[in-house]
Structure 1
Amino acid sequence: MTSRAATRADVDAITELIAACELDLDGVAEIDPGDVEMSFGRAGYDVARDCRIVLEGDALVGWADVHGTRAEADVRPSHRGRGLGLSLLAWTEGRAREAGQAVVGQMVTDANLAAADLFRRNGYEPTETAWLLQIRFDDRPPPSPAPPEGITIRTYRPGRDDRAVYQVIEDAFGEWPGRSPQPFEDWAAQWVSHPSFAPDLSPLAFEGDELVGAIVYLDYANGDEGWVQQLATKATHRHRGIARALLHRAFGNAFASGKTACGLSTNSNTGALGLYEKVGMRVRRSYTRWSKTL
């Protein structure tokens, strides 16, 4: 086996490898064809330095990348148990250290018991839990309650709302412990330019002319599930039912566009799991972030 720096020409092969690993561990491939391409376009991300692939002949059998304190790595199911996972883990640590990071971590499905064991044996600790949630519509339109008094909801207008939506999301996500700020250009490249971003299905909440809550919605073409990628409410406007109203509107948009379900992911930093369960969503998979101080 040989390893080398990745290039943009490897996007399709990396996507296929991730899909194969997801199918093996979780029984379903969640990766979207645009996800890897989008991640390669993140601000400050250098594909040649930050992404590594492993080949057996011409076949891709492993990959890893590092962006800030976050790493990701996968080994093709047929090539596990050969030490490749440990090698990629060491590479992610070295790359993070080289980039000046004090911590590095990976979020992995709890179905991957071998990865959890690998992390434990190499000085990693569980630092965060994440959940994948879904609401199914069962051929019935979801509830569409009126928004809270004084709140209006309309769809996202690209070019007009970008900065305001970014600020609401960045301020809310910036409350999470240990999170590094994300520049506007990075956020816009990641989500506004995402091939599946659907502004016409992304609801925004206003009080007068002030944006007080937002959803960034992705409309993946290869599935029957709509996707709430980001949801945030201004700190000054929480506990008024705005997030709930935005979710109901997003669910209605998903149903009207022909989706049979809508999903999202959340983590233990947000404290939002209870909200999602109250609007009818159910946990269908859990993940753990394993982190190590370098």
Structure 2
Amino acid sequence: MSTEPTSGGGPDTATPGHRVSPADRLTAPEVAEVLTLARAAGDADGADPLDEHVLLRMRDPGAPAVHLTARAADGTLTGYAHLDTTDPAKGVGVELVVHPAHRRRGTGRALARGVLAAAEPGPLGAWAHGDHPSAAALAVDLGFTRARVLWQLRRPLTAAPPAPALPEGVELRAFRPGEDDEAWLAVNNAAFAQHPEQGRWTLDDLRVRIAEPWFDPAGFLLAVDSATGRLLGFHWTKVHERPGSARIGEVYVLGVDPSVHRGGLGRALTAAGLAHLRDARGLDRVMLYVDESNTGAVALYERLGFARWSAHVNYQRD
């Protein structure tokens, strides 16, 4: 959620003509409007209000979703909420954003009420990117509880990262789209079996990202057994490039097959990916996301020079 400060229990103070409308899909011009609004909010707040999953689903007409748009009397888009209704019985995922120029007018509260009406009677989970006090206040007002924290960590790449020290009998190579898809998916889902999002990926989830403009197989590093070719782990990197913003790399997904844990492969893969982003892509900084509760991973990344940059909070409402 990226919204405005509110006070509990008060009436909606939206501007005259303000309206919230639901739809099961967005037109291409509407998607462009939402992306423009989200960029404005991200620039103002220092954190993008919609995650990659939502951005991909907005462009997919077959994705089960409810899209709520808030507009002023002149038709200007002032706010947007996305409800992922893939499996309402397990819960509806929500992300909500209000344009910085239209805050403090009740738009966020009106969108939130629309979310509650559209999602009843199932449970709800809403992300607040950046952990803004206004989002926390709105969550409390509407009966949400703070359930999960995702840290964004960052480190500079101006100095060379540690040299990757691969275990004996392991070599690195680039991902081969169309050949490695199923093997990668099996290792990914085993490595993240307990993760609420990453462990549920399908081949479609992988292939839609392979089709994205940012995808670069050279930055999708696989660790394989030198003798058998068996996939043991991977480091999928990503580069964020947006006009007007500095380029930054990302440790997009890093995973190791559970059968080879504690052999130093995760650390070696991390170092290899950082070296790729610095030396092959010419980047001077990198980020990653990690659950606050994953203390082992947080400790590993901090030893590699990462530090906390921002927090993203998931709120739940039964």
* TM-score, normalized by the shorter chain, greater than 0.5: yes
**Which 5+ residue runs of structure 2 have no aligned equivalent?**
1-17, 87-91
In structure 1, the residue matched to 2:275 is 252
In structure 1, the residue matched to 2:290 is 266
Give TM-score, length-normalised by structure 2: 0.80
In structure 1, the residue matched to 2:236 is 216
In structure 1, the residue matched to 2:4 is none
Q: 1:9 aligns with which of 29, 35, 57?
A: 29
Q: Structure 1's 120 and 29: CA in aligned 2 closer, same or farther, altered over 3 A?
A: closer
Contact 2:241 2:248 in 1 (8 A): no
Query: How far off is 1:43 after superposition?
Result: 9.0
Contact 2:160 2:275 in 1 (8 A): yes
Query: How far off is 1:275 after superposition?
Result: 1.5
Alignment of 1:98-177 (within 5 A): 102-138=122-158, 140-176=159-195
Q: Measure, in 2, the Cα distance between the counterparts of 1:126 and 1:178.
A: 18
Q: Structure 1's 95 and 182: CA in aligned 2 closer, same or farther, altered over 3 A?
A: farther
Q: Structure 1's 270 and 286: CA in aligned 2 closer, same or farther, altered over 3 A?
A: same
Q: Measure, in 1, the Cα distance between the counterparts of 2:111 and 2:131.
A: 20
In structure 2, the residue matched to 1:243 is 266
Q: 1:39 aligns with which of 57, 62, 65?
A: 57
Q: Measure, in 1, the Cα distance between the counterparts of 2:109 and 2:50.
A: 23
Contact 1:19 1:31 in 2 (8 A): no
| More deviation, 176-185/261-270 | 176-185
Q: 1:123-181: CA deviations, max 9, x gaps?
A: 1111111111112122x332223212222111111111112212222222231369883
Query: How far off is 1:270 after superposition?
Result: 4.0
Query: How far off is 1:187 after superposition?
Result: 3.5
Contact 1:14 1:36 in 2 (8 A): no
Number of positions where the alignment pairs a residue of Structure 1 with one of Structure 2:
284
Query: How far off is 1:232 after superposition?
Result: 1.4
**Root-mean-square deviation (Å):** 2.6
In structure 2, the residue matched to 1:80 is 103
Q: Structure 1's 229 and 145: CA in aligned 2 closer, same or farther, altered over 3 A?
A: closer
| More deviation, 155-164/34-43 | 34-43
Contact 1:43 1:186 in 2 (8 A): no
Q: Structure 1's 2 and 202: CA in aligned 2 closer, same or farther, altered over 3 A?
A: same
**Which 5+ residue runs of structure 1 have no aligned equivalent?**
none
Q: Measure, in 1, the Cα distance between the counterparts of 2:146 and 2:119.
A: 18
2:75 is aligned with 1:58: yes
Query: How far off is 1:41 after superposition?
Result: 4.5
Q: Measure, in 1, the Cα distance between the counterparts of 2:43 and 2:254.
A: 27
Structure 1 stretches of 4+ with a deviation exceeding 4 A read 28-32, 34-37, 41-44, 177-180
Q: Measure, in 1, the Cα distance between the counterparts of 2:114 and 2:254.
A: 33
Q: Structure 1's 90 and 30: CA in aligned 2 closer, same or farther, altered over 3 A?
A: closer
Q: 1:3-55: CA deviations, max 9, x gaps?
A: 333323222221221122222222x66979x8765232569514xx5222112
| More deviation, 238-247/49-58 | 49-58
Q: Measure, in 2, the Cα distance between the counterparts of 1:93 and 1:172.
A: 34
In structure 1, the residue matched to 2:317 is 292
Q: Structure 1's 152 and 94: CA in aligned 2 closer, same or farther, altered over 3 A?
A: farther
Query: How far off is 1:259 after superposition?
Result: 0.8
Q: Measure, in 2, the Cα distance between the counterparts of 1:31 and 1:219.
A: 17
Q: Measure, in 1, the Cα distance between the counterparts of 2:294 and 2:61.
A: 24
What secondary structure, in the 3-state scheme, does the structure 1 residue paired with 2:200 have?
A: coil
Q: Measure, in 1, the Cα distance between the counterparts of 2:49 and 2:147.
A: 23
